[in-house]
Amino acid sequence: MMNEEVDRLMTNPYVETLAFFSVAVLALIVFLAIFELVTKYKDWDEIKNGNVAVAMATGGKIFGICNLFRFAILNNDSILHALIWAGYGFVLLLVAYFIFEFLTPYFKIDEQIKNDNRAVGLISMMISISLSYVVGASVT
């Protein structure tokens, strides 16, 4: 009975949009909190203090995560499947973050971003955005 009511509500495009939006915003908050755990700086403190490199890197993460949701929503009929695909894409973006750190042995990415190295912040942003398109293209 409950599933039938939910299914009926989800046929309304306004309710469906609100549902996808709500889930995406909540997941974005969770995914950003996870990213904050793996970086060696506090994103929002650094942004508050005017660190443009952190703002660019964080903006790239936000864009990347939301772009993954875009593809997941377009290619899935249910919120659950969209969330699973977006979550999988997030894990891949997280892996890309660690690969980026590993492939730059000459300096530490986190240290450079924390020190407001905008070149590193820009590359970090572009990696997040670009790879979100690659992952998004494979979402089914």
Coil, strand, or helix at residue 27? Answer: helix
**Cα–chain center distance at 124:** 13
Look at residue 78 in the predicted model and tell me its pLDDT. 87
What is residue 76's DSSP assignment? -
pLDDT score, position 77:
80
Given this model, what pLDDT does residue 2 score?
63
Residue 1 pLDDT: 61
* C-alpha closest to that of 17 among 61, 84, 69, 64: 69
Query: Tens digits of per-residue pLDDT, 67-94?
Result: 999 999 999 888 899 999 999 999 999 9
Sequence-separated (6 or more) residues with CB below 8 Å from residue 69:
20, 24, 27, 28, 82, 86
Which segments of the chain have a pLDDT < 50?
A: none
